[in-house]
Amino acid sequence: MSETAKIALVTGASRGLGAAIAHRLAKDGFLVLINFVSNEDQARELQNAIQQAGGKVELCGFDVSKSDQVDEKFDWIAKTFGPVAVLVNNAGITIDSLLMRMKDADLDKTLDVDLKGAIFCTRAATKQMMRARQGSVIQISSVVGESGNAGQSAYAAAKAGLIGFSKSVAKELASRQIRVNVVTPGFIETDMTGALTEVQKEAILRSIPLGFLGAPEDVAELVAFLASPVSRYITGQVIGVNGGMYM
């Protein structure tokens, strides 16, 4: 890493997977921009923790589902810090519902954040990467986008769409040395899995050949690899971190 730290933006970074990814990229010397929408207090706690560990970090609040906010913020980033070298599209929501009970508003919100938000940020970031003729975009999809899951059709559609989108833009941008890859986590120990009952956890563990839930750091390590020059010959790939539950 040069004296001027490269810029890495992690969306939805105030907690969970995003926070672990932010910590890991800061450890590698990136200036990490922590995106958040409403959890500013958690984002500041993460900022303090990374700074105490010796990392470089700044807060970067905006709503990924609003294209005008995305474009405005990426222009500000380029003028204030420099071009984004690594984009991690981690922001996402899930509103579980059987198809017959799905509300239009819930479908729109899921697609707006999980799919369109990643598209908006990828478009804005790669404009800067094209001028620099290098960059890495890492999409955080889900094993559900590969396997499907009852009660999560909207979420699965968004996460599957992210895979098709990423493969397409990987082909568009490869000539400019911009790599686009997808990480598909399985069941990872976060706030969401912490709310599961013991019966639910046991059922999940039976579906995982390795027999345990992953940790956010398992995902963060793969993201760090894909963000680094060590992975320079990898693009357009979908890599699972799921303990073998989907092969």
**Catalytic annotation, residues:** 155
Q: Retrieve residue 183's tokens.
A: 């990480």
Interacting residues of 27 by C-beta distance below 8 A, sequence separation 6+: 53, 55, 224
Four-residue CA torsion sign, 153, 155, 156, 158 = positive
Q: Are 140 and 17 in contact (CB under 8 A)?
A: yes
Helices and strands of the chain, counted as H and E runs: 10, 7
Residue 91 to residue 15: CA distance in whole angstroms: 10
Residue 143 to residue 62: CA distance in whole angstroms: 27
Q: Retrieve residue 35's tokens.
A: 């995106």
Q: What angle do CA 62, 214, 36 make, to 5 degrees?
A: 10
